[in-house]
Structure 1
């Protein structure tokens, strides 16, 4: 019950340090035993340190170093600065943020002194940065096992033309033509008191360029590992798995130069591990342990891989491959760290499944004896995550209701709360039980669901970290029927012209919201008027949210937007 009572008094955000009674602060899930972490650190990495895994990555993972002029072509094509509106509500100002430029989040809140040339820094209790990536952020994740003063964030962006193109290729097949893509590794310095160092801007340490299509998903291996200094001028970050637009899963061993060195541009020539299912593509992946991972496919199948036996094979062959769902699997994850052998998945048919890998064999595969299905939802769920603190799967339904499926009662839902719009991503933390939900209306909501788990009559309190909005700078033109009719346009239907490519738009951040009670009521209830689903600009959406998994920075959180902005902030309460 420590998972419940330690943070029961904190409803929206975690505290940075525990009080005298031991409540609050950062701590790993109490379901994760320290003996298991020690065993993982000592035993699970022997294949890499002592059995040739490190040498295999060095042999098969090949890069070609590029100069800045060539490497920057894989990042942002349009170098136009983005107009950004920031500051206290009612007194906001417009700023210009160039691509790959950064701004401290407290800068718009600094009060100017009488001499306008010398701004007076006023304490704002805000610690973080806003970075203009320049393109739609597709995926991001903090590097685990980083206890030093430098924290690393990996991300990948997708051009907005690709993201909103009306005639995109099917998600069931790989991209027909190879497209340029890049994985960016950013570094953020931590101050002595644990906040972001506001005097040292974020640094783009490394860019990994490739022509395998857009990077759809990135997942770090979260298994604890011992710290070893391999190079004095480089930092080993661990294993990073990703899904590219060609449908392949690739695993990279990431080593970045120290932040005081210039940005390193590398072209990915070959990898030590890559695989693709026959007649399908990989749609999601998850790490099972330090030496195994599982991938979900577009035809409803799953494949379990062992890294030690797959390095250098072309392509890697799974040790178990079996049908799991009836159609496209949108998300797959494991109940790591407490129960890594339990696999959770969701598909477009509306079913959530829970599978026990200890009962899966190479001959029988997955069968009804080791898989449990949840009640079917009306539409497929876009996102889900495992919340180790409450031992439940957390997901969202089409009515914007946050729901939990307990591990021991997977056949029924537990209503947790309701948010304002459709949820794109849900981020749990390894350092506290608070979750963050990124929505299509540009909001990021945070809450402590343990208050609802321990008492079903408790009303969930939800806080809004910020609200991001994007609008066009050019007014869209409507072609009315009768003037210049186009082919295929029926009478009485207006055709909206798309904005020009040069229209970068204007982005805005609003913050300082009060926490609100989240009532789980019917949409037609008199206390909660009819809930409508609103269509927002595509660039307004929050595409990815991630908490920092390292205890020293447990309050750090990153959010990526479809407009290309990355916001990182320390939300820990002093």
Structure 2
């Protein structure tokens, strides 16, 4: 009876151990009649073995050859070596399970490891078989691809998007712009070629012009804009009444501020709504005229306005709601607490350049106080869509500032048409009785707001829904307008919502208390939805940068993460702060620098563009200032306390690796989080949204101080 035929293929990898140093080095006298076998310099055999092809026997049986050919067809990854003799030119390709490791090495360097070759198409994309499954019809960003493929997978193949990125690279790739924007780069907007789409971020230039001109025609018509403006009702109130009821009660003591050189800081004492030029702490310039009050002649100079709001004291709240409300105030409407929105004016220098600097000879002043009885003003957002000035604006008795949307404590969304007196030396106090638009979803409250167009506003809700309203009036509109878009995006409280305007205004990104960050298309929110890595804690910081074509957010590890719209499912770390991130400035439409503040009182700026274009580039960040606060010596709980500022930081390159050795949060192997005084926190940040003043930035602190500075060096 003939012996059954069996394959010579080993059932598994067999490991041979030896103490012979010559065998470990790949030298043996047991084979080839005592001849010494060696390898080529710089070449490595399969799986790190030092033996030749003769050490691996492949059966010459016809059936075994057919089995190996089938195995080769089922695998699209081949384990090969750099040596041409290891490719098995006279036989089938050797697979991982066929390799016998004769001489294992103690530890191989990366250069000696077996390389994995993947079959690719002509454009660099992986060649997938018909039966291979994949979750996304786009390139995998973790694959090592060329720069062209990287740009296409990040920004798309449309020349509009690519040309806008090239324009951003030409303007902001310089090392001096690695943290804060420079005045020279801001002024280059007039000289550098925009490639047709650079200034509009991929939008057709004609459409951008129509949006800031014809897109605002409705506001100047009598049947639409006229009816809308008539809805808003305000009344002038006395300054004494406004300060006693709506403003924070003034402290008996002044706020002590130390600022200047580290070894020679100057002390200043600030009262409520007083202004300080902290440049005086570094010494006065000779023959510099002192700060003077504004005159009517100065009123012709350019002025910009800063909106600020602060909550009222607990004593004032108790006067309106003596009983303790049950439930959480974040998900339930609050009582009608008084609140005031302050509008401060800042004057710019008269310069011939495109960008303007702050005029330090003219002190900022309070121009308007908008008083309401709708609870605390929790979120504010100016309409970001530009509007060209018209003759009708000059014919009106009041100066038009813009449309301001806000979320009040009673859960309503309201839009106010902010207007000022043309006299720059007056301070007005108005009580808003009815805005031009207000709405609230049923059985929930609004939590965050973002503009989509001059007439459309998106709002996040406490129940996880996103609602979109049009503020345009209609004849049959009910008292509480119904949103034309109302869809569940999350399962719980939405913390922030942002639109990818102007590149893709139909794309909305949201963050929620459940830790999820999602992006949807309002055209089909059920199918066109993508989410990124879930966090353990929800992030309240989210904005869209048109220069980067990406959303910027944060995570629980104090990292700033970048989410490209075409690669939203992946995250890229672009900055790291020394403590918990507490504030984020909405991205500017004139430069790619991002501004973040933390609970430790520090504010950092960074430019993520270099890292977005080249993932191996070092990421730089620079501290604007750091702030420390301690309570005063007085026993009064309402004491303003003492603040100290540190300035003059240089840019630094930080490691963006997670769980790295020596992590500042690890103390004796335990993760710790530092809790700072509430007055130290950075509570609000903002860039000036106008082109000529794009370098101006403002920071609000927990102790009540507001710092405004021109960061364009």
Quick check: TM above 0.5? yes
Distance change in 2, residues 1:107/1:232 (3 Å): farther
What's the offset of the Cα at 1:17? Answer: 2.5
Match of 1:201 in 2: 363
SS state at 1:59 partner: helix
1:179 equivalent among 321, 334, 337: 337
How well do the aligned residues superpose, as a CA RMSD in angstroms? 2.8
Match of 1:287 in 2: 451
1:390 equivalent among 544, 548, 551: 548
Answer with 1 or 2: which has the greater Rg: 2
Are 1:237 and 2:401 an aligned pair?
yes
SS state at 1:36 partner: helix
Paired residues of 1:332 and 1:346 also in contact (CA < 8 A) = yes
Distance change in 2, residues 1:275/1:98 (3 Å): same
Match of 1:505 in 2: 641
Match of 2:247 in 1: 75
What's the offset of the Cα at 1:358? Answer: 2.4
Q: Distance in 2 between matches of 1:200 and 1:14?
A: 24
Which has a greater percent of strand? Answer: 1
Instruction: Show structure 1 runs of 5+ residues with no match.
Output: 112-118, 128-146, 360-365, 476-498
2:311 equivalent among 124, 145, 158: 158
2:275 equivalent among 102, 109, 115: 102
What's the offset of the Cα at 1:421? Answer: 1.3
Higher relative contact order (CA 8 A, sep 6+): 1
Match of 1:478 in 2: none
Match of 1:38 in 2: 209
Distance change in 2, residues 1:383/1:160 (3 Å): farther
Q: Distance in 1 between matches of 2:234 and 2:471?
A: 20
Paired residues of 1:221 and 1:287 also in contact (CA < 8 A) = yes
TM-score (norm 2): 0.68
Paired residues of 2:251 and 2:639 also in contact (CA < 8 A) = no
SS state at 2:638 partner: coil
SS state at 1:35 partner: helix
1:98-137 paired onto structure 2 within 5 Å = 98-111=271-284, 120=286
What's the offset of the Cα at 1:37? Answer: 2.0
Distance change in 2, residues 1:516/1:169 (3 Å): farther
Match of 2:386 in 1: 224
What's the offset of the Cα at 1:57? Answer: 3.2
Paired residues of 2:380 and 2:407 also in contact (CA < 8 A) = yes
Range with bigger deviation, 326-335 or 419-428: 419-428
Q: Distance in 1 between matches of 2:502 and 2:315?
A: 36
Q: Distance in 2 between matches of 1:106 and 1:161?
A: 35
Q: Distance in 2 between matches of 1:307 and 1:509?
A: 43
Range with bigger deviation, 14-23 or 405-414: 14-23
TM-score (norm 1): 0.84
What's the offset of the Cα at 1:20? Answer: 8.2
User: Matched residue pairs, number?
Assistant: 513
Paired residues of 2:228 and 2:473 also in contact (CA < 8 A) = no
Are 1:315 and 2:510 an aligned pair?
no
Match of 2:86 in 1: none
* Cα displacement string for residues 455-511 of structure 1 (whole angstroms, at most 9, x for unaligned residues): 111111110001111111249xxxxxxxxxxxxxxxxxxxxxxx7433211112111
Distance change in 2, residues 1:169/1:371 (3 Å): same
Q: Distance in 2 between matches of 1:435 and 1:298?
A: 28
What's the offset of the Cα at 1:571? Answer: 0.7
Match of 1:211 in 2: 373
Match of 1:411 in 2: 569
Instruction: Show structure 2 runs of 5+ residues with no match.
Output: 1-165, 292-299, 319-323
Which has a greater percent of helix? Answer: 2
Distance change in 2, residues 1:342/1:51 (3 Å): farther
Paired residues of 1:6 and 1:24 also in contact (CA < 8 A) = no
Paired residues of 2:248 and 2:311 also in contact (CA < 8 A) = no
